[in-house]
Structure 1
């Protein structure tokens, strides 16, 4: 048995994203007010805080205003306020109609919001946390749970220096046990420990299945004459057709840069569809081409987002801990925003923990979180948009969009109807024989690109000699089931070229290029056989996003 060093804390927080850092800051603030000493630790699997953060992002400051009201004087990197909203219905590869503001849900309007790099916002939040005495440990992956007597007692960080078979190399360093009175999980969408906790404590038994989208993002340096700082563009329709829904975006940030991207809902049915290639051809539409042409693509990334909303929320408390932010699915898809909601969930988690610690004999029970959540603006916001996603899935973008405009603009989300989507995203995939094949144009190297050159821009790297972090429950399924029935969609839904079908002496083989993985979690979500499990690689592995 491996001997592990143990460190004790009052609170361990897994993930240095907006939810985790907001939780840590709020805890430290409350402890200072009560003249109470708290040992708080935040572990982050990225090489630095912000390295794995990927978000649109148009940022609503509501939670930040509560957490750090003096954020402007503290130098928060919020520099570009939204000046204009443009919404388009894309009809085909050439035509688009500008949608008047009265015909769109008011949740899409961005008055007072900021175009930001959430990676940089998180770096700044980490500085605020450290100034309050919080320990922030980047480069340490939370590998496994410590559960004793049906209570979460902390986490074990990942071992370093294992070979492909999991045996120690000369550089071997065992992971540490980080034990705490309370452990908060803020890993982001489809967190691998959050997934285990949901199953272990049956947290989702009263929820509908979670739903996901795959979000792509590129940063472009463009011609200054084309730059309209503060302009936010959203679109629906082409290139996504049929039962494939989602939306496009382009944000004019500072320094003559634009952020361009596409979200593809992962309940699509055609296994021939390649979300990456849909994004690449999207940029050839005149609305995007006119801005991007002559510019330089300087960054690329992709990440799954949890978009099931209110009906898909699991119970967020369990003995010894809490599940917050996108790990629980607090994103408000009606706004296409999840950062302010993640931050608020972290702040509510801190309040519940402080309340529990104030008891004469603190227990592992954090059920007060449920009441704090229900009495918060976060609950109200998610409840008001509860039907947004299910209606789009049920009626499509146009009819569903019309319903949502009526519901949000005239009834503030209070129409007396409840729509729920009980389908599973991976189960929506149809056999390849029932679907049309899709022929994508070759990338031109100017507006559209291939996967490998894109992954290069994400600065992705992993220690090559280590156990594969993309684990197959059954190594025969990719060829015998997924290839035979679905033309193995992993080679198309992965946005980083991790999976491919190779042929060796006449036999088909499923190849996993784990070195390419950008930690988007799409394979864990969309594999039709649910045969792939994403676990953490060695700490510091994955993308290193500088400004996303």
Structure 2
């Protein structure tokens, strides 16, 4: 029999949205002398291990959550305060040149002076300490796999079983997945969160919304020689090379004077059937300008994740009976800035205010929880998204950076919404035919992600219709999943698929990019996956 645990409020996901919401809620409860139990569960083995971000952070959101954080005397705060952006460059890259844009040309929302360059993994670990000090219970290694529903709506989640063999049989260490019930469940899983998707679909919360679309970010952290030319407090954003006809671009951020984070963000509606994002990152690094910065450096970490970019028109109603949806689970990334942390944190804080109102009324229905959507509408979160309602869509209409970038700057003049299609529909029988040479290969990078899955457990990746794989070869001339997966999970030997699920870094690119939609990705055992430390 499945054991059932009870809490008052459950946050599913220990990223910036979930933790900010839990912290804010506990602050509000404590100030009123209330003792409701607030819990956060996360599928990572330890806090922050599944967190990957840019992260050029707008600190106002943290100040709203913890007003005195700058006065804290701890290593994270010291590093954060020392990371303020002092040099901010935007460059257009051709194949051989780097053209720096004068500051007056760069839109204000793409300027970063005063922002902080942080490690998302490290910031989450710090937020966990703040949450626990307030009385929030944070549980890691808890992988929620199913939403529990009752007559009054969402009533909690069920955790995944542990200790099954590859065929699904119980081993001697089998532990059945427990149920966790709550008066309010707040879904904060991040991009492509499957539980929130289930709630949205079952409750029809996306009625009237356009399709959510995504980008993929692949990132390396590189240790540079002491005499490197890049220096500290420096951020660079690029567009153009290596893919001028794909929305996105490159970034180089200094984590300290001898460490940089290098990333490439690519919209997942790309047309190329043989585009390999991890290798495109190596192509980006081969550019004369980028190579001059990274010369003599050593890659020390790697990871990948998706981010939602549909913007305002793709938002679902983020509330229903017994549940709220926050952060990237709801799609609050500001696509113009390619930033989501500030909005994720604010959405979590606003959710906390709505939950408190529900607790005080002892009414957890959609009627009461709707105040969350009202608070969002009056907040900087929705104001941000409204300013870029058709930003990504206009770029896609332009086809290349040369037309798409100017169109994106005037998208605010178009009042009607521009429809989107699912990411996988962008793929065509078009090949880049790159001869990838140099840099790190996928398996070398994957090893630096620290990802691990128990070898005996059932595969968390399945093919619903093997005929779909044959259809890809017929329709696209290649097997696209063998290219688009940034972790080399999909390989083909004599046209037979060989899965390597132990390589998976949980970005879920496969689930949204598979052209025949036959890849099923399920949350694996709690504690499995990447072990990010500085991402």
Q: Determine if contact 2:392/2:408 at 8 Å carries over to the other structure.
A: no
Q: Determine if contact 1:153/1:181 at 8 Å carries over to the other structure.
A: yes
What secondary structure is seen at the aligned counterpart in 1 of 2:482?
A: helix
Which deviates further from its counterpart, 121-130 or 204-213? 204-213
Deviation at 1:268, TM superposition (A): 0.7
Q: 1:154-185 deviations in whole A, cap 9, x for unaligned?
A: 00111110111211111101111100000011
Deviation at 1:343, TM superposition (A): 0.4
Q: Determine if contact 2:391/2:409 at 8 Å carries over to the other structure.
A: no
Does the alignment pair 1:151 with 2:153?
A: yes
Question: 1:282 matched to which residue of 2?
Answer: 284
Alignment of 1:131-146 (within 5 A): 131-146=133-148
Q: Determine if contact 1:192/1:534 at 8 Å carries over to the other structure.
A: no
Question: 2:502 matched to which residue of 1?
Answer: 515
Q: 1:244-283 deviations in whole A, cap 9, x for unaligned?
A: 2211000112151011010011001121221221111110
Question: 1:66 matched to which residue of 2?
Answer: 64
Question: 1:481 matched to which residue of 2?
Answer: 471
Alignment equivalent of 1:10, drawn from 4, 8, 11? 8
What secondary structure is seen at the aligned counterpart in 1 of 2:200?
A: helix
What secondary structure is seen at the aligned counterpart in 1 of 2:124?
A: helix
Alignment equivalent of 1:438, drawn from 433, 453, 456? 433
Q: Which runs of 5+ in 1 are unaligned?
A: 408-412
Q: 1:178-223 deviations in whole A, cap 9, x for unaligned?
A: 0000001101100121221221112212111111111011111112
Question: 1:410 matched to which residue of 2?
Answer: none
Deviation at 1:405, TM superposition (A): 4.1
**Distance (Å, rounded) in 1 between the aligned partners of 2:533 and 2:444:** 17
Deviation at 1:360, TM superposition (A): 5.0
Question: 1:428 matched to which residue of 2?
Answer: 426
Q: 1:279-298 deviations in whole A, cap 9, x for unaligned?
A: 11110112210111111111
Question: 1:170 matched to which residue of 2?
Answer: 172
Q: 1:412-467 deviations in whole A, cap 9, x for unaligned?
A: x5x3544524222111111x3xx245122322xxxx11010100000010011111
Alignment equivalent of 2:244, drawn from 241, 265, 272? 241
Deviation at 1:391, TM superposition (A): 1.4
**Distance (Å, rounded) in 1 between the aligned partners of 2:455 and 2:146:** 22
Which deviates further from its counterpart, 387-396 or 535-544? 387-396
Q: 1:131 to 1:475 in 2, by over 3 A?
A: same
Alignment equivalent of 1:467, drawn from 458, 468, 471? 458
Does the alignment pair 1:495 with 2:486?
A: yes
Number of residue-to-residue matches in the alignment: 526
Does the alignment pair 1:454 with 2:445?
A: yes
Question: 2:336 matched to which residue of 1?
Answer: 334
Q: 1:364 to 1:520 in 2, by over 3 A?
A: same
Alignment equivalent of 2:46, drawn from 48, 53, 57? 48
Q: 1:342 to 1:492 in 2, by over 3 A?
A: same
Question: 2:93 matched to which residue of 1?
Answer: 90
What secondary structure is seen at the aligned counterpart in 1 of 2:8?
A: strand
TM-score, normalising length: structure 2: 0.96
**Distance (Å, rounded) in 2 between the aligned partners of 1:82 and 1:153:** 44
Alignment equivalent of 1:223, drawn from 210, 222, 225? 225
Deviation at 1:150, TM superposition (A): 6.0
Question: 2:212 matched to which residue of 1?
Answer: 210
Q: Determine if contact 1:182/1:364 at 8 Å carries over to the other structure.
A: no
What secondary structure is seen at the aligned counterpart in 2 of 1:399?
A: helix
Q: 1:448-498 deviations in whole A, cap 9, x for unaligned?
A: 1101010000001001111111122223321x2122212220000000000
Q: 1:29-48 deviations in whole A, cap 9, x for unaligned?
A: 00011111110110010011
Question: 2:121 matched to which residue of 1?
Answer: 119
Q: Determine if contact 1:181/1:364 at 8 Å carries over to the other structure.
A: no
Alignment equivalent of 1:377, drawn from 376, 380, 386? 380
Q: Determine if contact 1:227/1:257 at 8 Å carries over to the other structure.
A: no
Question: 2:20 matched to which residue of 1?
Answer: 22
**Distance (Å, rounded) in 2 between the aligned partners of 1:150 and 1:477:** 40
Deviation at 1:224, TM superposition (A): 2.4
**What is the RMSD of the two structures over their aligned residues, measured on CA atoms?**
1.5
Which deviates further from its counterpart, 264-273 or 123-132? 264-273
**Distance (Å, rounded) in 2 between the aligned partners of 1:291 and 1:46:** 33
What secondary structure is seen at the aligned counterpart in 1 of 2:361?
A: coil
Q: 1:296-326 deviations in whole A, cap 9, x for unaligned?
A: 1111111111111111111111111011101
Q: Determine if contact 2:163/2:172 at 8 Å carries over to the other structure.
A: yes
TM-score, normalising length: structure 1: 0.93
**Distance (Å, rounded) in 2 between the aligned partners of 1:138 and 1:153:** 21
**Distance (Å, rounded) in 1 between the aligned partners of 2:410 and 2:155:** 47
Deviation at 1:370, TM superposition (A): 1.2
Q: 1:16-39 deviations in whole A, cap 9, x for unaligned?
A: 000000000011000011111110
Deviation at 1:500, TM superposition (A): 0.8
